[in-house]
Structure 1
Amino acid sequence: MRNTAPPAGWTRIVCAIACLVLVSGCGLRSASGAVLAADPGTIQHYESLEGVPITVAAKDFTEQLILGNMLSTILSTAGADVTNLTNTPGSFGVRQAMLNGDADISPEYTGTGWINYLGNEEPIKDEIAQWQAVNEADQANGLTWLAPAPMNNTYAFAIREDAAERLGVTKLSDLTALDRSELTFCVESEFASRNDGFIPMLQTYGLTREDLGGVTTLDTGVIYTATADGVCNFGEVFTTDGRIPALNLRVLEDDKTFFPLYNLTEVVDSELLAAHPELIEIFGQLNPKLTNETMLELNAKVDNDGDDPALVARDWLLEQGLVT
């Protein structure tokens, strides 16, 4: 059989080139498995975590790429031997990794846990009660949800700033005062049919489908630009998406709290947490700093500026003094 092994040293060269391409290309992916190093800041090095193997899993969209790399850098700085599985395909890919023990920690959203993973149809409207409920229920699966961040990446409707000023709208309850011709919406198909989606939202705010001037169904990513371009006045968005500030959109307040709460936190393997309760202290320093405004800014650095999510994560940790 012909020897197909590459020449000595060639593998290292190819790997180096591949990593450079991944990091410096479009800015939407980091080098697979990389954990960017940092020194302790307010998050200290723990002898108790020295060499402890911890695998972080995060999903494959911008916000999760940032968060997964953030958790990986923090845990490595604290002393753990971290495997970074950021960029795992889909919510259920990460969930299965947590359930079967292939991952130990993941950044997750309380609403996703309660509705998508645990199968509840009715969200809980209080953020602390929602966290407590999902944490209590998931104990049966050997998973613990830490106290959540203020950040709530839920559904919302946004309008371009000039149109918001013209129409005088700041919250969803303002919609009932508008002329029918102004009530034009861009939504994606799944949202249009969800029980926490478009039609029930309209009903909560005293409107019906027949009251509207028009509804355009688009792919999620297209809605942001369509709203900014005036295809519709009101576009379905996610509250921490970096395209909101980039496209000069205004998110309308959900003043009747219709949409489920999707507060961010860390889901941790309960056995790992019992052995290393210092993880609560570590993430207790991080989570209060993660607000919607923070994630809007960080997501925009990746989606709009083309920055690498791992570098965005570490730079922010440095700015906050959590690491040095």
Structure 2
Amino acid sequence: MVNLDRLIELKVIRRFNESSIARILELVQNATSRKAKTEQFIRKFARVYTPIVTFLAIGLAFLPYFFLEDYMFEAWLYRALIFLVISCPCALVVSIPLGYFGGIGAASRKGILFKGSNFLDLMTSVTTVVMDKTGTLTKECFEVQKAVTMEGITLDWLSLTAAMESKSTHPSQKPLQMIADELKEDAVQSINELHKLGVRELIMLSGDKNAVTQQVAKSLGIDKAFGDLLPEQKVEKVEELKKDASRVIAFVGDGINDAPVLALADVGIAMGGLGSDAAIETADVVIQTDQPSKIATAIQLGKQTKRIVWQNISLAFE
């Protein structure tokens, strides 16, 4: 609410650890612990390969001492160093991280911040995009959608009402005006592009009234929508979706109540312009421009980066 000229008296009815914010933070922590950790193949490869090659080189330098009578340390050290140079997969180890680094840099120039290269990879595999409504697909600022004239009214009431309300301090004005959150300019475009990129399911989860949620989903072409949801109910919905192992789920939100789901999803995407600190901190990807169409851009960048990385891998082995 907006308080302009009144004194407010507040009564505390719960302890902090029983508050909504405390429960949301607990959900974030629990969801993070359940989230699968993905690692790049090259890191796994280097973690095993590098120690093996290092120990073999050390062995090549010192073990001949126990078996050869004419052992010369300088000669065997030189051979060990040659072995290290030959064995080092420089093109593979260096070019792969640089490929992902380039992808992250390209994304940042478009207003998309990836918190790790593994999320670039995951974006290419996303099959289900789950979205919040308010602040994600809508502007979170209300405007008059429709004005209704009641039966029997013959006066030019609209101009009279506008004159009366011009001095009003109430944000939502009068009940004669069906006021609603306005869709973002690129909301329809973002849904169409996600469908074109092969995303199988588009789902909306909202704490707003179910009737409003269904209306917005229908106007945008979203496959499924659920309204009247509390933060923990959003978590339950995503947990149900995750039971199908074939799904790779991206969740897009902006509020503190979205933080638990952002942590639980395979890829959490936060609207960073007007989003809450909790959502931005928890998310894996941050859209700094608040444009939902950037979700499709992130997927395209992920696919392009992955294609370049695999080109590097194939060339490194030639």
Q: State the structure with more CA Rg.
A: 2
> Structure 1 or 2: larger helix share?
2
TM exceeding 0.5: no
TM range (shorter): under 0.3
TM-score when scaled to structure 2? 0.23
